A and B are shown apart, each in its own frame.
Chain A
Amino acid sequence: MSLLWLRVAVLLYGVAALSVLPAALYERPKWNKIAIPAAITGLLFHFVSLAEMLNAAHHRLPVDTHETQALLGLLLAAAFLLVYWRYRTVSLGVFVLPISFLLGLVPAFHPGQETTPFPQFHTGWIFLHIALLLAAYAALLLSLLASVLYLIQERSLKSKHAATGTSWLPPLETTDQIALRALLFGLPCMTAGLLIGSLIAQQTIGPSYFLDPKVLLSFAMWLAYVGMIYIRRHSGLRGRRAIYLSGFVFLVVLAVWSANQFSVVHRFTTP
């Protein structure tokens, strides 16, 4: 049943992703009446799907790569709605909602068969570890997208053609706030996620876990994340340079994500 709810959620994300285009790009606010309810309902169905999955996983936590992607999609959709609620802008939805849709598409229609390596232990903590890290990734992605919007708006204002074509973009200070606040939200999530993962690894595998390339990359990612926030916070880095910095950290995140493929101890196994 959780799969059915996930499929409904993905379809609703698709509807929201399509209807946000006229709302943002063509300044037709009445499309918001479709985009926002569709995103909210999609999020609810996605949440129900997740809750059912967890309920069924009292003894087993079937978190494969695809389902992890879907969870990232949920967090991104939630972040989009949060930004809409706080700043009344749907501009980020132009990017975020299609990503949510695509992240949910494969798990919903072609679910994987892999499971986490130690399903019998600490299912709640493993889930928390995954959810917190995904929240940090979502925050980073949101920050990167907000920085891109900042750059587009900045270029438009510099070119003196601000009147045409870019009125859908939020003001510079708003996108800057979104970018920075997303990062500030992501840091504690990433810290807590890594700490929980480390404690579980210490208990189940022992110190050898910390020599794994995936694990080492994860700590490098944390350092890059902290460094990025420090630089943005203290030099007021904005625009092009901020995108370069966020882009670099995002690449590290992608490296951490893909490191599952060559990690010895931190990878999904097929039962």
Chain B
Amino acid sequence: MSRNEHLVLIGVNHTTAPIEVRERLAIPSVRLADATRSLVHQPGVREGLILSTCNRVELLTLQEDGSASGANLLQFLHEYFAVTPSSLAPHLYEYREREAVRHLFRVASSLDSMVVGEPQILGQVKESYTIAREVGAVSGSLDSLIQRAFTVAKKVRSETQIGSNSVSIASVAVDLARKIFGTLRGKTVLLVGAGKMSELAARHLIQQGASNILVANRTLERAQRLAEQFHGQVISFDELYDRAAKADIVITSTGAPQKLFGRSHGQHFLQSRRNRPMFFIDIAVPRDVDPRMNEVEGCFVYDIDDLQQVAAANLADRSREAEAAETIVAREVDKYQQRMQSLDAAPAIRSLQEHAESLRQAELRRSATRLSGLTADQLAAVEALTRSLTNKFLHAPMLALREAAREGDARALMELEALYTNNFRGKVDSPDR
């Protein structure tokens, strides 16, 4: 990013705007290319990317010097979505330069997500980037910034455990099932009762490969509907205890006042399964499974409180990991800024070196007659001497340029550049004058 380019990001997210505002700004993926194209046609916008998810809509732009502001982006939102800027203003946030870099890195690393550590956001950023590239909206500095954001997100994932533990009841149940069975492919799931929660848990298990679904419910129609939905099979309550041993995972959610499964049931099931483990997920309140069944070797019983405790512990783990992730992001922002600023000093340094070399050559040419009597060795010595002197004279200004770039001191950088290149060139370019 050169000094005449500015990074500006505006947007709304789940913390700043209610769903009513976010849904008005949401851009479906089929329209994202068109919207991105319109964004980069805004005056002053050189490069741009739009990130639109259910929790956020953000415009990330690289803008020209002089025109860089959030106002033109607000204008874009107004034109594209037909929303008044005044209605959006209270919900909008705007980040510039370093803060925009930091925000992008945090978003890609899922530190700004509603559920910190959720993995989908990185895929959504990648999708937006792919579309922006396809329409030619990112190509230069913004491209390298976004690529860097992907690297940072990957680093956060690999160096912290931010996304390793599940935080919803259903996904905790799936995680536990995987700790018991490894793969869930081909596993049999028995749903006893057909509540919403058990349906959700079953859906998660099926997504992970569980294929045989048995449904037992006192209301037959509901059982049939659920069985059809999961391509499963309905079993009557009468045959529940005969068929339950076939199930690897049993999800119970009936409203029965008494326990449906006791410790002796567990022993019986395990015996007929030749000790293959069985996992009981008891979502019912009051509980359907006697907690003492957990004492049976091979039976694992988790009730709703147990699942919630695991989820809460996982959430706490994520928060701890998020702190480590924030440190990584802060370090990466520093590194990125330093790299950008060092790169920024490079043209001035190159220009200074070229100019000094041309002066040296001019001086040597001017003295060519006087030096004509020198031997080859003596000429080589003069050559080395002038080169060495030039380098020594350049050392201090080059160091100062690098330092100013590293410090992000744009004013000092400009002054130094002017002093050692432009003005200097103007005054001494023609030493004969």
User: A163: which B residues are within 8 A, CB to CB?
Assistant: 165, 172, 310, 313-314, 317
Interface: B365 (CB within 8 A): no
Q: Is the CB of B158 within 8 A of A30?
A: yes
Interface: B420 (CB within 8 A): no
Contact of A153 among B179, B275, B298 (CB under 8 A): B179
Q: Is the CB of B276 within 8 A of A236?
A: yes
User: B309: which A residues are within 8 A, CB to CB?
Assistant: 160
* Distance in angstroms between the alpha carbons of A107 and B85 in the assembled complex: 80
Q: Is the CB of A236 within 8 A of B180?
A: no
Q: Is the CB of A172 within 8 A of B179?
A: yes
Q: Is the CB of A158 within 8 A of B182?
A: no
Q: Is the CB of B161 within 8 A of A171?
A: no
Q: Is the CB of A172 within 8 A of B181?
A: yes
* A window 166-181: CB within 8 A of B: 167, 169-174
Contact of B158 among A29, A157, A234 (CB under 8 A): A29
* Distance in angstroms between the alpha carbons of A240 and B182 in the assembled complex: 20
* Distance in angstroms between the alpha carbons of A78 and B254 in the assembled complex: 50
Q: Interface size on B (CB < 8 Å)?
A: 28
Interface: B178 (CB within 8 A): yes
User: A27: which B residues are within 8 A, CB to CB?
Assistant: 161, 164
Contact of A235 among B181, B274, B297 (CB under 8 A): B274
* Distance in angstroms between the alpha carbons of A20 and B109 in the assembled complex: 27
Interface: B176 (CB within 8 A): yes
Q: Is the CB of A157 within 8 A of B161?
A: no
* Distance in angstroms between the alpha carbons of A160 and B158 in the assembled complex: 27
Interface: A270 (CB within 8 A): no
Interface: B294 (CB within 8 A): yes
Q: Is the CB of A237 within 8 A of B275?
A: yes
* Distance in angstroms between the alpha carbons of A164 and B314 in the assembled complex: 8
Q: Is the CB of A238 within 8 A of B158?
A: no
Interface string of B264-301 (1 = CB under 8 A from A): 00000000011111000000000000000010011010
Q: Interface size on A (CB < 8 Å)?
A: 27
* Distance in angstroms between the alpha carbons of A153 and B178 in the assembled complex: 12
* B window 166-187: CB within 8 A of A: 172, 175-176, 178-182
Interface: B363 (CB within 8 A): no
Q: Is the CB of A160 within 8 A of B302?
A: yes
* Distance in angstroms between the alpha carbons of A157 and B302 in the assembled complex: 9
Interface: A162 (CB within 8 A): yes
Residue of A nearest to B181 (CB): A173
Residue of A nearest to B300 (CB): A157
Q: In this complex, which of A167, A170, A240 has the most chain B Cβ atoms within 10 angstroms of its Cβ?
A: A167
Interface string of B297-322 (1 = CB under 8 A from A): 11010100010011001100100000
Residue of A nearest to B299 (CB): A158
Interface: A239 (CB within 8 A): yes
* Distance in angstroms between the alpha carbons of A167 and B165 in the assembled complex: 9
User: A160: which B residues are within 8 A, CB to CB?
Assistant: 302, 306, 309-310
Q: Is the CB of B176 within 8 A of A162?
A: yes
Q: Is the CB of A171 within 8 A of B182?
A: yes
User: A174: which B residues are within 8 A, CB to CB?
Assistant: 182
* A window 142-198: CB within 8 A of B: 153-154, 157-158, 160-164, 167, 169-174
Q: In this complex, which of B297, B302, B306, B314 has the most chain A Cβ atoms within 10 angstroms of its Cβ?
A: B297
* Distance in angstroms between the alpha carbons of A30 and B154 in the assembled complex: 13
* Distance in angstroms between the alpha carbons of A161 and B310 in the assembled complex: 7
User: B294: which A residues are within 8 A, CB to CB?
Assistant: 158
* Distance in angstroms between the alpha carbons of A30 and B161 in the assembled complex: 13
Contact A157-B297, Cβ < 8 Å, known A30-B158, A162-B310, A164-B313: no
Q: Is the CB of A236 within 8 A of B158?
A: no
Contact A173-B158, Cβ < 8 Å, known A162-B176, A163-B310, A239-B298: no
* Distance in angstroms between the alpha carbons of A173 and B179 in the assembled complex: 8
CB distance from B268 to the nearest CB of A (A): 14
User: B317: which A residues are within 8 A, CB to CB?
Assistant: 163-164
Q: Is the CB of B178 within 8 A of A171?
A: yes
Contact A162-B275, Cβ < 8 Å, known A157-B300, A238-B298, A240-B297: no
* B window 181-203: CB within 8 A of A: 181-182
* Distance in angstroms between the alpha carbons of A160 and B282 in the assembled complex: 13
User: A154: which B residues are within 8 A, CB to CB?
Assistant: 297
* Distance in angstroms between the alpha carbons of A237 and B297 in the assembled complex: 10
CB distance from B328 to the nearest CB of A (A): 14
User: B176: which A residues are within 8 A, CB to CB?
Assistant: 157, 162
* Distance in angstroms between the alpha carbons of A90 and B176 in the assembled complex: 20
Interface string of B315-344 (1 = CB under 8 A from A): 001000000000000000000000000000
Q: In this complex, which of B158, B275, B309, B313 has the most chain A Cβ atoms within 10 angstroms of its Cβ?
A: B275
CB distance from A86 to the nearest CB of B (A): 12
* A window 3-41: CB within 8 A of B: 27, 29-30
CB distance from A74 to the nearest CB of B (A): 29
* Distance in angstroms between the alpha carbons of A172 and B180 in the assembled complex: 5
Contact A158-B300, Cβ < 8 Å, known A173-B181, A236-B276: yes
Contact of A171 among B164, B179, B276 (CB under 8 A): B179
* Distance in angstroms between the alpha carbons of A170 and B178 in the assembled complex: 9
Q: Is the CB of A171 within 8 A of B273?
A: no
Contact A236-B274, Cβ < 8 Å, known A29-B158, A163-B317: yes
* A window 233-259: CB within 8 A of B: 234-241
Residue of A nearest to B180 (CB): A172
Interface CB pairs A-B, < 8 A, 5: A163-B165, A171-B182, A172-B180, A172-B277, A173-B180
Q: 11 other contacts beyond A27-B164, A160-B306, A236-B273, with CB at 8 A cut-off?
A: A153-B179, A157-B180, A157-B300, A163-B310, A163-B317, A170-B182, A173-B181, A173-B277, A236-B275, A237-B275, A238-B277
Interface residues of B (CB under 8 A from A): 158, 161, 164-165, 172, 175-176, 178-182, 273-277, 294, 297-298, 300, 302, 306, 309-310, 313-314, 317
Which 7 pairs, one residue from A and one from B, show the smallest C-beta to C-beta distance?
A236-B274, A236-B275, A171-B182, A163-B313, A174-B182, A163-B310, A173-B182
